[in-house]
Chains A and B, each alone.
Chain A
């Protein structure tokens, strides 16, 4: 019996999430003994053909070509796991979804007409069925190892879906919001990082995306403000950064309006 095969794919992203795999220094070689990494361009020029047992997908869909490529990846993958905020929520580049992408292009490029890009940055699940989504910007490498190990053992990954506040308590942190009045998105952010920011004395800025425990009764931004100890501008900005599309429901006002009032001529 051959080992299960793994492919790693990249769409619009910073490479950080697939780098998490190479950052598993202690587990990498052992992992490579159990799983056959057959396609991972960041790590090897040997790109074997599929089908693959597991595909890890990083990055969001922002071009026509990538829209076609993700369908191909789905076809050649038995299990498709998306990793990171780009792949699960469109990432920081989804800010364009609430702005004028042509205007964005004209700020960055002298000849914006050459830039072949979609007006949106969308998560992988908006295009193809996804078997498992791992949140985070970047993902947590311990969670990545857990997801791969669970797959090898044929069980469900043990990835908690409570909020960062829980992890903060487990870690024995003093709550930065209660103790210092520091604005913190911990109550509404998905667990997974181990509450890094409060451990370093700063508020959570939501890089793991919204916590599902917040559920359907998620209040609007204004309702959250006293909780998070943020001004409205701060709240709007922090909710529209790394997981803008996912957090957007939490905001009362359209980020588009914000871009309108804040942008300088």
Chain B
């Protein structure tokens, strides 16, 4: 038990998150006075330089916002632009998009579960260190990740910043024969995914519940590439109504933009929200895995997000296999999308949560304005709030242990800091 009542904890550079961020906690008189998750990733101005571009360009350009979830950016961009141009992409092309997105979920979730998050539960600084004692486990994780990348490479051309996605569909669609070996890989991945759930279910999870409303897409199937937005309270809105329902603002204790509902408080997007609002839409196998993992109908413990991600890997593998089984090559690789003046919005479920894009196309067919709201910026307020409560209940720990637990708590949310296209303050507070 420490007797210091005033203290400051700082983690200068967070490890095992994407991009760069720092955390700042101020404790005074034994009370948590201030918690800040600082994002000091330098701004890259995507929304500014998308202006003046052809309406075909955002999928390639916005992919570069994040190397870990480029498909999410490509899919939200395509949907928003197609929406502006009055085109709907569905049928076999829609299925192929979903298949590609499954690949990204598998690859990104496996990366997070095995390389970024599990080492926390098992007491290793990282997966390479973990591999010294538990090589077969790390190899299983790498195999899963590779299966996701295989989907990305076949359908997208490569795993990072795929080249084959275009507004209207694809540049090239695969013949059935090309998908057969992929199905082989995915069938093995399904076993690895189930083993992952079983493995992660054995971790010890601190007792902790977040107190935010959930926000996720809801569709006929478990949400990936589209749907309507649903809140935990049951209220729904469409992509076009996103900015009427969500505001981003500055709050006094932090200079990062915080999102909240216009009529209420902070919310949480991402795996917990997706699962809690869509559990019944999981495949039977994934639902069974969720039961095995002890996940009830709703999951509010951010530490258990690793379980939800593992269950979502099972789902994504299952879903990818379903799509491959029923695949009939589409008559053409893309539907034409001639530019037209107007505004369109698109929302998809990035592995880290709801990703919103809006584009205005001018009379010259070029982009006049762009707006991108990534999941990390939506979750930022909720994360900080949770951290405050988390720290308050652990003040008896020494600085080292507490700092370590805070880092771990941040990693629950898998904040993708490189996606933070518009966090405000870039002042670095380092120890």
Which residues of chain A have a CB within 8 Å of any CB of chain B?
10-20, 22-23, 25-26, 28-29, 32, 37, 40-47, 62-63, 65-66, 91-93, 95-96, 99, 101, 103-105, 107-111, 114-117, 137-138, 193, 196-197, 199-202, 205, 207, 234, 237, 241-242, 258-259, 262-264
Q: Which of B134-142, B259-267, B311-319 contacts A (4 or more CB under 8 A)?
A: B134-142
Contacting A at CB under 8 A, from B338-381, are 362, 364, 366, 368-369
**A138, B67: Cβ atoms closer than 8 Å:** yes
**A92, B48: Cβ atoms closer than 8 Å:** no
**B427, A116: Cβ atoms closer than 8 Å:** yes
Which residues of chain B have a CB within 8 Å of any CB of chain A?
13-20, 41-49, 51-54, 57, 60-61, 64-68, 70, 111, 115, 119, 125-129, 131, 135, 138-139, 142-143, 145-146, 149, 157-161, 163-164, 166, 171-172, 250, 255, 257, 333, 362, 364, 366, 368-369, 407, 418, 421-422, 424-428
**Cβ contact of A23, chosen from B14, B60, B149, B362, cutoff 8 A:** B149
**CA distance in complex: A207, B15 (Å):** 29
List 15 additional A-B contacts (Cβ < 8 Å) besides A16-B64, A46-B129: A14-B64, A19-B67, A19-B160, A22-B111, A23-B149, A26-B146, A29-B128, A29-B135, A46-B125, A95-B49, A101-B45, A105-B45, A108-B48, A109-B43, A114-B425
Please list 26 pairs of residues, one from A and one from B, whose beta carbons are closer than 8 Å in the complex, sorted by A's number: A12-B42, A15-B66, A20-B160, A25-B142, A29-B128, A41-B16, A42-B18, A43-B115, A63-B42, A92-B46, A96-B48, A101-B45, A108-B45, A108-B46, A108-B48, A109-B43, A109-B422, A115-B424, A193-B158, A200-B164, A202-B163, A207-B161, A241-B57, A262-B51, A263-B52, A264-B52
**A28, B142: Cβ atoms closer than 8 Å:** yes
Residues of A within 8 A of B425 (CB): 114
**Cβ contact of A237, chosen from B53, B131, B139, cutoff 8 A:** B53
**CA distance in complex: A96, B128 (Å):** 38
Residues of A within 8 A of B61 (CB): 92, 241
Which of B41, B143, B145, B146 is the most central at the interface, judged by chain A CB atoms within 10 Å of its CB? Answer: B41
**B16, A44: Cβ atoms closer than 8 Å:** yes
**CA distance in complex: A82, B18 (Å):** 19
Residues of A within 8 A of B362 (CB): 264
**Cβ contact of B250, chosen from A37, A101, A110, A138, cutoff 8 A:** A110
Residues of A within 8 A of B131 (CB): 29, 32
Instruction: Decide if the interface of chain B is mainly helix, strand, loop or mixed.
Output: loop
**B157, A196: Cβ atoms closer than 8 Å:** yes
**Cβ contact of B129, chosen from A18, A44, A207, cutoff 8 A:** A44
**CA distance in complex: A14, B57 (Å):** 18
**CA distance in complex: A199, B154 (Å):** 11
**CA distance in complex: A262, B52 (Å):** 5
**B163, A110: Cβ atoms closer than 8 Å:** no
**Cβ contact of B42, chosen from A32, A95, A107, A117, cutoff 8 A:** A117
CB distance from B363 to the nearest CB of A (A): 9
**CA distance in complex: A22, B14 (Å):** 18
CB distance from A248 to the nearest CB of B (A): 15
CB distance from A235 to the nearest CB of B (A): 12
**B128, A37: Cβ atoms closer than 8 Å:** yes
Residues of A within 8 A of B111 (CB): 19, 22
Residues of B within 8 A of A105 (CB): 43, 45, 48
The residue in chain A whose Cβ has the minimal distance to the Cβ of B111 is A22
Residues of B within 8 A of A99 (CB): 48-49
**Cβ contact of B52, chosen from A66, A137, A259, cutoff 8 A:** A259
**CA distance in complex: A242, B17 (Å):** 24
**B127, A43: Cβ atoms closer than 8 Å:** yes
The residue in chain A whose Cβ has the minimal distance to the Cβ of B249 is A110
**CA distance in complex: A193, B146 (Å):** 19
**A45, B125: Cβ atoms closer than 8 Å:** yes
**B18, A200: Cβ atoms closer than 8 Å:** no
**B421, A19: Cβ atoms closer than 8 Å:** no
Residues of B within 8 A of A92 (CB): 44, 46, 49, 61, 64
CB distance from B39 to the nearest CB of A (A): 12
**A66, B42: Cβ atoms closer than 8 Å:** yes
Residues of A within 8 A of B119 (CB): 44-45
